[in-house]
Structure 1
Amino acid sequence: MKAAIVTIGDEILIGQIVDTNSSYIAKALDKIGIATYEMFSISDEKEHIINTLSYFQNKVDVVILTGGLGPTKDDITKKTFCDYFEDELVEDAIVLEHVRNLIEGFYKRPITTINKEQALVPSKAIVLFNKMGTAPGMWIQKENTVYVSLPGVPYEMKYLIDHEVVPLLIQKFKRPYIVHRTIMTYGRGESLIAEQIEVWEDNLPKNIKLAYLPAPGRVRLRLTARGENEEALGIALDMQIKALYELIGEIITGIDEDEAIERVIGNLLNGKKVTLALAESCTGGKIAESLTAIPGASSYFKGGVVTYATASKINILGVDKALIDEFSVVSEQVAKSMALESKRLFDSDYALATTGNAGPNKGDARAEVGTVFIALATPETVYCEEFNFGQPREKVIGRAVNKAFEMLYKEILKN
């Protein structure tokens, strides 16, 4: 089965907002065995919408559109649907009652004509009840293609996908199974991994595909199997992963997205009943952001400081000014001092510290642009490693964050 995902709205095309809807929908479809064939973003123009609907007619099984269902004049999706499907708008009593209760009950204001028009839907459509907002979703089939129109507001779209669209798709279509396993690796580049697993990759069964998903300092290896028997696919993937562990097991931190290194580290810290603190400079709080994205991080993450300026390292952390004057703010000595002072400040068992030149200019440092020092204070000692991550700036910061996690992960495993 194949699907197309279409987002409607000039605000996406001019970069005013980021399209997160397509990603959510594609993941939801993938889980039920429907592969996304294409993704489009188009403008709020009648002709463009109709051409897109026509383009996918009988080319895919399902077209899911988001956007253009609001109450204002620039939202034209419903009327355009009527033109394409040779239909007319009719009032849906259930939707109207819901809109009235929401406007008059929750917002405490009289319902307007514009509000009432939200209850107008094409007569041929199956109405998808939107508990989270006023705009209902619509499901219309034409020949061999089902068209689904959803609101563009992300939380409304997500509700309708989860509670209306996916159940209907499961009910209507017989689907093959698509099973994924994502192997999380750390500390080795994509090309080197590819060389090490080349023979294994060349001998994968025809129904199993491998994709490399690299990021600075980490590579995800996604295995995808397609077939009619879900249990057999899972067994086949597990066999391939076992073989992969024999080849590169030392850099594998876990399987699937829930075992990203941040989560693995959190589980290790919790299991050992130890805590972590941070002192970030060049990484600007991104290590803390990654840690606190994991629910329950407060049980092991004591806190951190972003001492971005030289003065804040002295005044807040308590790094000796003489140390900075002698060795420079980007140095092993300063990184170690930052880690130790953070460990003291938060009374933690471990502390990570970063200081570096992310670029594009040197600033107060003597070190070359791209240079980063990462220090780790442990219950027994403190040590530091020096790296040069090159450029651009975003790459330096991303790799510094990931390398800090790698250092911490390896240190915890030692104990």
Structure 2
Amino acid sequence: MAMSKTTNTYNRQNWEDAEFPILCQTCLGDNPYIRMTKEKYGKECKICVRPFTVFRWCPGARMRFKKTELCQTCSRLKNVCQTCLLDLEYGLPIQVRDAALKIKDDLPRSEVNKEYYVQNIDKEISNIDPTTPAGAVGKSIAASDLLMKLARTSPYYKRNRPHICSFWVKGECRRGEECPYRHEKPTDPDDPLADQNIKDRYYGVNDPVADKLMRRAAAMPKLEPPEDKSITTLYIGNLGDVLTEKQLRDHFYQYGEIRTVTMVPRQQCAFIQYTSRDDAEDAAERTFNKIILGGRRLTIKWGRSQGRQAISAVETSREILEPVPGLPGALPPPPENIGNNFFNLQSTSGMMPPMMAIPPPPVAPQFMFPSQIPSPASATSAAAVAAVPSQIFPPGTAPIHYPSQDPSRMGASQGIGKPWPED
């Protein structure tokens, strides 16, 4: 005689008695000091219908209270959170993860077979570390590019907000700011995201959130390599203040030999130059929208060669600037019939323009003592008078070069041409 469901229901040997739930960081909340209520055998698991320990807590201020929905056996079987049923490693729905890792779900659907299968799995995982996944997920350790692209690296606390106030939707809520529920427009009933349930999420079928993420992955842009084959540099952005040059070199060296690693701390980025173009293309393909270092998703782009940057800078400097309105135009060239036109090179072919006469430099006045100046009376000829330069004494005045030559100062003798006084 087959065992009935009621007999197994009251068999407390397989009931769960846990001390702490299996939760993701988003459901746990941002508050490091949290209070939880523990209710032993509080509810039945939504999957295996076995009583389990229910935990209830508030993840933060102005957030709704959350509780566990699955037993820990079903949670470890799929490596999901007991509350939101999202993957603990990537934060993605089970349907997306199984499609990327090519995992086939072998969990039975019927109630009797499900209970028998879960009991056997519970015995197997009892000797395994509770932090490691079990079942087909634990056996699949291969990484996937799709999961690296879609993985959530930071908690999404917006998912813990309160539900929408139904009284506010009908216009009857009188609590105002004291209402613990959200006063927002609800989701359109025709939207697929408005129709979600726990079993579809756990079994990975007909999950609208998974379909949305798969469409997003198909529409993601690809990093096309540049046409210039001399470019072997990759731009690494969103480094933050934690990542160092050694960490970047140790990670990117697996794709090929690195020539230089240039860090730009002010811009929180770096430039990695490979020795060959094939290694650079391999690194760009395997890290674009996939690489996560130090808890940060890095931005990967192609760099530009220094020669190309110099050419672009020269071309930019040679651009014709638009004239500023309101300024006068350029002066017209001089007419061709003007003489001594040095700028009119088309005036007469084969002839040089006339040279302008350069005046001689002025003659500096010569200094002579009064005793050295010849007297007109002692001149024997007109040639002696003509030899005296006219700059020595202009008509009616005597040359004065120093204060001592002033006849009215420092006891100088009056009159020009008189001998100096003897001692």
Which structure has greater helix proportion?
Answer: 1
TM range (shorter): under 0.3
What TM-score comes out, normalization by structure 2 length? 0.22
Which structure has greater strand proportion?
Answer: 1
What TM-score comes out, normalization by structure 1 length? 0.22
